[in-house]
Amino acid sequence: MTLRAKLIALIALLAIGGAIYAAWAYHERSLGSKEIEARDAQAAVAALQRENEQLRRDAKTNEDVANALQAEKDRLAAALADPPVIRVCEPASSPTVPAKAPAPRKPRQAPAAGGSSASVSTGAPAGVDIGPGVQLISRVADRLAAQERALLQREAALR
């Protein structure tokens, strides 16, 4: 074999070896990029799953808070719907005695030296009966409470 034929065979072998190496390198790179893409996709899926779980926990928390708020509102509405009646004075069993006209006032005198003046004399009649006035205030308060309950019910109906 001549030198020329040897050189051509060597060049052919180098070309074939280079082609084989290039094919192998391309194959390795494409497998590597596919593996990287697969790992990236897995990481993205895992991140989306974590985000989804967090959103579910947040939704559950929001639902629990909304339910607790509604339960509290219902409890307060029930408490307002039938408030206990509190009376300061019992209703008078007999009609009240009209107060007598006050006696004419005497000019105020300075107390005697070393003594004290009594604020109420021992024979003075009892004071004015405040029961009817307190009962009137109680009726007005009951009426205002009923109006407020009606407004709360109206507000609840509008929701």
What is the model's pLDDT at position 158?
A: 79
How many CB atoms lie under 10 A from the CB of residue 132? 14
* pLDDT tens-digit readout, 25-67: 887 777 667 777 778 888 899 999 999 999 999 999 988 888 8
DSSP readout, 52-69? HHHHHHHHHHHHHHHHHH
What is the model's pLDDT at position 53?
A: 92
What is the model's pLDDT at position 106?
A: 62
What is the model's pLDDT at position 68?
A: 87
Residue 134, pLDDT > 80, answer yes
What is the model's pLDDT at position 13?
A: 87
* pLDDT tens-digit readout, 63-117: 888 888 888 888 877 877 766 666 666 555 655 555 566 666 666 555 555 554 4
What is the model's pLDDT at position 121?
A: 47
Share of the chain above pLDDT 90, in %: 10
96 contacts 132 by C-beta, under 8 angstroms: yes
Residue with structure tokens 């590597």?
32
What is the model's pLDDT at position 116?
A: 47
Is this prediction's pTM over 0.75?
no
What is the model's pLDDT at position 54?
A: 92
What is the model's pLDDT at position 52?
A: 93
What is the model's pLDDT at position 50?
A: 93
